[in-house]
Amino acid sequence: MSELLTIKEASVWATEHLKKAITTSNISYLISYGKIRKTGDNGLLLINKDDLIKYYESFYGKREINWKEQLGSDLNWHLSFDNLKESDTTKHIHRLHPYKGKYIPQLVEYFLDNHTDEFKKETYFKKGDVVLDPFCGSGTTLVQANELGINAIGIDVSAFNTQISNAKITKYNLADVQIELNTISRQLKQFIVDSSNIKFEERLLQELNILNNKYFPSPEFKHWLKDKKINEFEYADEKMKEFLPIFAKLVAEFKIQIKQKAQETFLDKWYLQPVRNEIDFVFDLVKKIYNPSTKKIISIILSRTVRTCRATTHADLATLLEPISNIYYCSKHGKVCKPLFSIYGWWERYAKDTVKRLVEFDRLRTNTNQFCLTGDSRNINIFEQLENKFPTYGQIVREKKINGIFSSPPYVGLIDYHEQHAYAYDLFGFERHDELEIGPLAKKQTKEAQRLYTEGISAVLNNCKQFLADDYKVFLVSNDKFNLYPTIAVNAGMQIINQFKRPVLNRTEKDKAAYSEIIFHLKSK
């Protein structure tokens, strides 16, 4: 007979078995999502140890071997950082705002830090150096440079990416930030307190709880699917049809206008009318904030909130398909869900989370300089632009020059970077420069797209090279499946002197397939 474990005992056993921290919350997650079964004895929740062993062997125990078989024996598992939890890879301000396609901070830290190990035989940068990221994105390189006592300059063609990056590394008067957040929260709560939308949503949740407890009980429903006792989508459609008259009755009872009349902009199309009303209300308050840096970080909190409150299904948050204005079956959660009718809960959550993360980063912050410039890295005059913003620091960098680059250029045909934050461009009125993106999704992965990509990255390196010190080091992170970087290096008058091939374990899209990227180390010829 197999051994039965409590959740705490399962946590201790799994931690010892896997040689990494497995918390009771991790075990509870496996139970909640039907990955392992639960049993009981006199009211005590127990887990079959054999179920745990089967689960971990299917995913963890054999993963490194399987991935090396698929991706090659040169896969550097040391750079997988598989000992880290998600809270480690999204530490402090790295999770101030969602951003698709960013690398984890530990990867940047590994190459910027002045340590060596059996895999890294030399150091590349030291405290006081200046590092450039010409594809700054959400500012991961800038933040980690600050932690390590290294100065950094970022460049990005997207005005919103620049705003995210600079918001992360700005030093704030946290007392002022908290006062303004409290004021906005109080006024937003007053704005919605007597709203029929809130009462409608409360009643809708009550009715959905009844429906889900009856027809989609957790975790039993997951086991029904696993054991193929029901056809998931036929069953869900049938139960949804039964509920739709209740939804329609509630809409009529509370006189709710769900869709906006205008459908011209992103904010018109992807937000329900009650949500749009609250967004506009909060934004008007943000615009009145006197302190510029406080306004900057609270704008980021609002943007994060707005992104979460799009009228889409939980499964489609990363890639929008169609706006949702009704209840829907959610395969991600295995139950019937609803779109959001208010931003208040998420606004409160992100406000608290942001202040907490800023406090955490302030404990690690060094007295160094980081700033992201808005511009095209193919032709921007870095010294001139930096001197316009920060004359003293700009002059120092001009004299000292930049010691090297650490960056992750866009991949060919994967992401339209302006489009992923279209809501922010609408909200803040930023000018879009989609036509300047290198390797956008819109151009796909054709031979012509690859040619344009090669030209674009080469042009960036050639432009940036004039601002680098003679003994510069360049590190570019890429999944180079089209083998373009050898040509790029030649075009830029550089040579690839080393390659670090690493497995990417936790991708934004939650794709579990074997996947790797290469950190190309380049120097001058």
DSSP string, 20-79: S---HHHHHHHHHTTSS-EEEETTEEEEEHHHHHHHHIIIIITHHHHHHHHH-TT--GGG
Binned at pLDDT 50, 70 and 90, residue 513 comes out as: confident
Least confident of 277-286, 410-419, 472-481, 507-516: 507-516
Pick from 6-10, 40-44, 151-155, 258-262: least confident: 40-44
* Residue 184 CB contacts under 8 Å (≥ 6 apart), including other chains: 282, 285, 286, 298, 347
Q: Does residue 70 belong to any structural domain of this protein?
A: no
Backbone angles phi, psi at 155, to 5 degrees: -135, 135
Domain boundary among 28, 61, 94: 61
Question: Buried (b) or exposed (e) across 12-39, using 16+ Cβ within 10 A?
Answer: ebbeebeeeebeeeebeebbeebbbebe
Long-range contacts of 446-452 (CB under 8 A, 24+ apart): 446/413, 449/412, 449/413, 450/412, 450/482, 450/484
Is 25 a domain residue? yes
pLDDT tens digits for range 107-154: 999 999 988 876 777 899 999 999 999 999 999 999 999 999 999 999
The answer to whether residues 212 and 125 belong to one domain is no
Predicted local distance difference test score (pLDDT) of residue 194 = 76
Cα–Cα–Cα angle for 52, 56, 57, rounded to 5 degrees: 115
CA 86 centroid distance within chain? 11
Cα(99)–Cα(374) distance, integer angstroms: 17
pLDDT of residue 1: 56
**Exposure class string for 213-247: b at 16+ Cβ within 10 A, else e:** eebbebbebbebbeeeeeeeeebbeebbeebeebb
Position 120 scores a pLDDT of 76
What is the band of 510 on the pLDDT scale with cuts at 50, 70, 90? low
- Residue 15 shares a structural domain with residue 152: no
Separation of alpha carbons 82 and 506, rounded Å: 9
What's the rounded mean pLDDT across residues 184-207?
91
Q: Which of 163, 176, 189 is nearest to 347 (CA)?
A: 189
d(CA 456, CA 328): 43
The overall average pLDDT reported for the chain is 91
DSSP structural state of residue 298: H
Greater model confidence, 227 or 474 = 474
Same structural domain, 317 and 204: yes
Tokens of 525: 């010829």
Q: Give me the pLDDT at residue 27, please.
A: 85
Is residue 127 located within the same domain as residue 198? no
Q: Would you state the structure tokens that stand for residue 409, as one six-digit string?
A: 């250029």
66 located within any domain: no
Average pLDDT over residues 160-188: 97
Classify residue 77: in a domain, yes or no.
no
Average pLDDT of the segment spanning 375-392: 96
Confidence (pLDDT) at 302: 98
Residue 403 resides in a domain: yes
Question: Do 499 and 468 share a structural domain?
Answer: yes
CB 92 within 8 A of CB 109: no
* Percentage of the chain exceeding pLDDT 90: 66
pLDDT digits (tens, 9 = 90+) for 265-315: 999 999 999 999 999 999 999 999 999 999 999 999 999 999 999 998 877
Residues 318, 441: one domain? no
Tokens representing residue 374 in the block: 């808005």
Is pLDDT larger for residue 63 or for residue 495?
Answer: 495
One domain for residues 56 and 90: no
The answer as to whether 272 is a domain residue is yes
How confident is residue 428, by pLDDT bands cut at 50, 70 and 90? Answer: very high
Compute and round to an integer the Cα radius of gyration of the chain.
25
Shared-domain flag, residues 341 and 213: yes
Instruction: Please report whether residue 157 resides in a domain.
Output: yes
Mean pLDDT over 343-350 rounds to 96
Please give the C-alpha separations between residue 259 and each of 24, 244, 248, 253, 346, in angstroms, as whole numbers: 42, 17, 14, 17, 20
Phi then psi dihedrals of residue 390, to 5 deg? -135, 85
**Higher-scoring residue by pLDDT: 488, 57:** 488
pLDDT of residue 372: 97
Examine the domain organization and report whether 422 and 457 are in the same domain.
yes
Structurally, how many domains does the chain consist of? Answer: 3
Same domain, 53 and 89: no
Judge if 142 and 51 occupy the same domain: no
A 10 A CB-CB count for 383 gives: 18
**What phi and psi values does residue 81 have, to the nearest 5 degrees?**
55, 40
Q: What pLDDT is recorded for position 283?
A: 97
State phi, psi for 394 to the nearest 5 degrees. -60, -40
pLDDT at residue 318, rounded to an integer: 64
pLDDT value at 64 more than 70? yes
**Mean pLDDT, residues 144-173:** 97
- Which pLDDT value is given to residue 497? 95
| pLDDT for 507 | 63
For 112, 130, 453, 473, 523, the CA distances from 115, given in Å and listed in that order, are: 9, 17, 34, 16, 20
Minimum mean pLDDT among 16-25, 95-104, 392-401: which range? Answer: 16-25
Which pTM does this prediction carry? 0.87
The pLDDT confidence band at residue 237, using thresholds 50, 70 and 90, is: very high
Q: What DSSP assignment string belongs to 153-185? A: EEEES-HHHHHHHHHHH----HHHHHHHHHHHH
What is the residue range of 383's domain? 83-170+365-524
- Same domain, yes or no, for 401 and 488? yes
Question: Which residue among 356, 382, 398 closes a domain?
Answer: 356
Domain boundary at 356, 377, 404, which? 356
Average pLDDT over residues 404-425: 94
Residue type, 247: F
Given this model, what pLDDT does residue 509 score? 52
Which residue do the tokens 């307190």 mark?
193
219-224 mean pLDDT? 89
441-450: Cβ within 8 A, 24+ apart: 441/413, 441/414, 441/415, 441/416, 442/416, 443/413, 444/413, 445/412, 445/413, 445/482, 446/413, 449/412, 449/413, 450/412, 450/482, 450/484
Residue 117 included in any domain: yes
> Sorting pLDDT into bands at 50, 70 and 90, what band is 42?
low
Mean pLDDT of 184-203: 90
